[in-house]
């Protein structure tokens, strides 16, 4: 359909993603991903291509939710993380986003500027965007997702321990933003392919506190 407003396109894409997540083929693939079965990556790519053939926006958004957010949890998280975050994702209890790219350097992970300061007193991480170049950019599902896998410099006792990945709450099930989190809608895209049903946005964090266990720390 080409006669929809931006909000209508996004709502339709979101409903299509939720429908796709219920399909037995997708559920089977997600289970294989959870079990780390051989060739699950190849199957994911094939399934993604099939959805993109039918509707490119749905394929891209499904990839963000399942294979970027879900993949980060599955591949970087512990078994406890998988149980807490990946399994509910399969059951449509929430959706997620993958927050790596930043304004100042694209996807240069080693140069990421977002900070995750560890507070030993509270056993929490403080997620912060220290400057404009550290703003997370072009984040798919930014305007609807509940959680983000955020790549940030882990800082302990004032020293960076390198980039790590954290699960950060963005909004509750009613769409209300959590304190300290700002999302900015990137609106229409000039790309002739459109993809306006993919709600890309900017994420900014102002000293957002998350539990220690939200660090994805697979051994």
Confidence of residue 39 (pLDDT cuts 50, 70, 90): low
Tell me how far the alpha carbon of residue 27 is from its chain's centroid. Answer: 19
Whether 196 and 57 have beta carbons less than 8 Å apart is answered as yes
Whether 109 and 136 have beta carbons less than 8 Å apart is answered as no
Torsion of CA 74, 76, 77, 79, to 10 degrees: 60
Joined tokens for residue 78: 């512990």
Whether 21 and 66 have beta carbons less than 8 Å apart is answered as yes
Confidence of residue 210 (pLDDT cuts 50, 70, 90): very high
pLDDT at 40 over 90: no
Lowest mean per-residue pLDDT among 22-31, 94-103, 196-205: 22-31
Which residue is listed with tokens 């790549």?
Answer: 151
Confidence of residue 98 (pLDDT cuts 50, 70, 90): very high
Helix axes 24-35, 40-54, angle to 10 degrees: 150
Q: What is the per-residue pLDDT across 22-36, written as a single tens digit (0 to 9) for each?
A: 888 888 878 877 776
For the chain, domains (ranges, CATH) are: 6-214 (2.40.110.10)
Q: Which residue has the higher pLDDT, 167 or 82?
A: 167
As a whole number of angstroms, the distance between CA 209 and CA 124 comes to 6
As a whole number of angstroms, the distance between CA 184 and CA 205 comes to 12
Question: How many Cβ atoms are within 10 Å of 14's Cβ, its own excluded?
Answer: 21
Which residue is listed with tokens 């900070």?
Answer: 115
Please give the average per-residue pLDDT across 65-71, as a whole number.
89
Q: Are strands 147-156 and 96-99 parallel, antiparallel or unpaired?
A: parallel
pLDDT at 149 over 70: yes
């Amino acid at each position: 359909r080409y006669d929809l407003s931006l909000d209508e396109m996004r709502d339709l894409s979101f409903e299509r993603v939720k429908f796709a997540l219920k399909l037995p083929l997708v559920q089977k693939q997600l289970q294989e991903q959870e079990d780390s079965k051989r060739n699950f990556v190849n199957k994911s790519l094939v399934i993604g291509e099939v959805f993109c053939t039918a509707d490119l926006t749905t394929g891209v958004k499904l990839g963000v939710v399942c294979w970027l957010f879900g993949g980060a949890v599955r591949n970087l998280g512990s078994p406890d993380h998988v149980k807490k975050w990946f399994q509910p994702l399969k059951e449509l209890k929430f959706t997620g986003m993958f927050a790596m790219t930043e304004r100042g350097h694209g996807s240069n992970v080693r140069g990421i500027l977002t900070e995750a300061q560890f507070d030993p007193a509270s056993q929490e991480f403080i997620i912060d965007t220290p400057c404009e170049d550290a703003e997370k950019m072009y984040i798919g599902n930014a305007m609807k997702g509940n959680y983000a896998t955020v790549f940030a410099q882990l800082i302990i006792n004032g020293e960076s321990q390198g980039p790590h990945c954290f699960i950060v709450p963005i909004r509750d099930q009613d769409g209300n933003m959590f304190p300290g989190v700002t999302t900015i809608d990137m609106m229409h895209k000039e790309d002739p392919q459109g993809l306006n049903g993919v709600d890309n946005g900017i994420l900014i964090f102002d000293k957002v506190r998350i539990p220690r266990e939200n660090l994805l720390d697979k051994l």
